[in-house]
């Protein structure tokens, strides 16, 4: 009976367990078994943090729910980027670029592709509001080009970089466009982002948690996020060592970070698609990708300017082509408001090509 109660209360236990492991491992080297334990505990803390974000989301309702999830994931992502940059004394100038690019490709092709494929297999065709998803996708394409492509063509600094004034402009532009999107999503045109009411999903109709339960979940989510940040910093040397040992490109570090923080949210998006709530899946995907740029870039820019860290934002030619193809295909996929499994298969192929060409450029 005790073991059943422990399993039932895993979400409440995991944040404190992860915090305890963090403090226990502060004086240890993250290698071998220790690194494996840290990774497992960190993943558990990520899942717990997103679980508590879902509890808060259920209390607040849509589309505030997907916003909470997006913010939680972005805090984790940004914290991991900054912790690794500080560990390397700012030497890893391309890490923010690699992580943001990886997040965009994972979300726009991996998450969206799997959602459309699973939704198509179970429901043949699915519908969503192009008014909301389309505007979010347009904002994502705009920010991606400004942050990841335009540095290749500016002439005020070395290729692939921005001057400090250009960085500040890009940071303010990213944050402003993200805030406008949030205003549209939560206030001005909230109905554009609401899922259909004619779906059968018990989680949607379950009674919302009480205010006290929501506040407890908020506190536990903060503990989980704190633990994830600390554990990620402990684990970052091990990740870089593995990349070096196997001779993989340094950009793999960014892919690993993006995959770690997006895995729980991917699971939430796939569950929504299977329950015929594709709008929720699209909210999760587009919202997370936008937050990944709109919040991460301003914070990274602030720290890079203050601590004089170099930032290499411009992508390689190969990655520019893949990013452009992703937005071209995405505009076709999201242009009608109706999807099927064929569109999912196309995006999954793009995701596999992204992974393959990263490992074998």
| Tens digit of each residue's pLDDT (9 = 90 or more) over 263-289 | 777 877 888 888 888 888 888 888 888
The enclosing H or E element of 126 equals strand 126-127
**Higher pLDDT pick, 295 / 321:** 321
Q: Which of 5, 49, 10, 2 is closest to 231 using CA atoms?
A: 49
Which of 24-38, 188-202, 219-233 is predicted with the least confidence, judged by mean pLDDT? 188-202
Q: How many domains does the chain have?
A: 1
- Say what percent of the chain tops pLDDT 90: 28
Secondary structure class of 339 (helix, strand, coil): strand
How far is CA 268 from each of CA 92, 93, 114, rounded to the nearest angstrom? 32, 32, 12
CATH number of the domain that 118 lies in?
A: 1.20.1420.30
| Tens digit of each residue's pLDDT (9 = 90 or more) over 204-257 | 555 677 888 888 888 888 888 788 778 877 877 777 777 777 777 877 877 887
Rg, Å, the chain Cα set: 20
Q: What is the pLDDT of residue 71?
A: 76
Q: Which of 244, 239, 274, 275 is closest to 258 using CA atoms?
A: 239
Q: What is the pTM of this model?
A: 0.83
Residue 177's pLDDT band (cuts 50, 70, 90): very high
Q: Which of 320, 26, 10 is closest to 144 using CA atoms?
A: 320
Q: Which domain holds residue 49?
A: 2-359
Phi, psi of 338 (to 5 degrees): -135, 135
Pairing of strands 126-127, 338-339: antiparallel
Residue 3's pLDDT band (cuts 50, 70, 90): very low
């Amino acid at each position: 009976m005790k073991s059943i109660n422990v399993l039932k209360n895993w979400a409440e236990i995991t944040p404190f367990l992860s915090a305890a492991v963090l403090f226990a491992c502060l004086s240890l080297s993250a290698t071998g078994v220790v690194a494996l334990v840290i990774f497992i505990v960190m993943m558990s803390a990520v899942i717990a943090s997103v679980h508590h974000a879902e509890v808060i989301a259920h209390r607040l309702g849509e589309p505030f729910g997907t916003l909470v999830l997006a913010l939680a994931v972005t805090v984790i992502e940004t914290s991991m980027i900054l912790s690794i940059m500080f560990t390397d004394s700012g030497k890893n100038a391309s890490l923010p670029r690699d992580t943001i690019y990886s997040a965009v490709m994972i979300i726009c092709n991996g998450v969206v592709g799997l959602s459309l494929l699973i939704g198509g297999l179970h429901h043949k065709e699915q519908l969503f509001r192009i008014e909301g998803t389309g505007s979010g996708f347009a904002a994502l394409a705009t920010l991606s080009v400004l942050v990841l492509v335009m540095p290749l063509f500016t002439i005020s600094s070395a290729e692939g970089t921005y001057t400090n004034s250009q960085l500040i402009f890009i940071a303010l532009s990213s944050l402003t466009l993200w805030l406008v999107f949030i205003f549209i999503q939560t206030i001005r045109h909230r109905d554009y982002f609401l899922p259909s009411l004619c779906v059968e999903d018990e989680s949607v109709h379950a009674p919302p948690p009480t205010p006290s339960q929501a506040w407890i979940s908020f506190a536990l989510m903060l503990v989980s996020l704190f633990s994830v940040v600390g554990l990620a910093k402990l684990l970052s040397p091990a990740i870089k060592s593995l990349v070096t040992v196997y001779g993989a490109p340094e950009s793999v570090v960014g892919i690993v970070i993006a995959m770690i923080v997006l895995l729980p949210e991917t699971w939430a998006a796939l569950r929504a698609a299977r329950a015929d709530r594709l709008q929720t899946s699209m909210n999760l995907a587009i919202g997370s990708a936008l937050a990944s740029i709109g919040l991460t870039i301003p914070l990274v820019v602030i720290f890079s300017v203050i601590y004089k860290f170099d930032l290499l934002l411009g992508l390689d030619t190969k990655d520019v082509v893949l990013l452009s193809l992703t937005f071209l295909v995405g505009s076709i996929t999201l242009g009608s408001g109706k999807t099927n499994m064929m569109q999912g298969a196309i995006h999954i192929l793009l995701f596999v090509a992204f992974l393959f060409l990263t490992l074998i450029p």
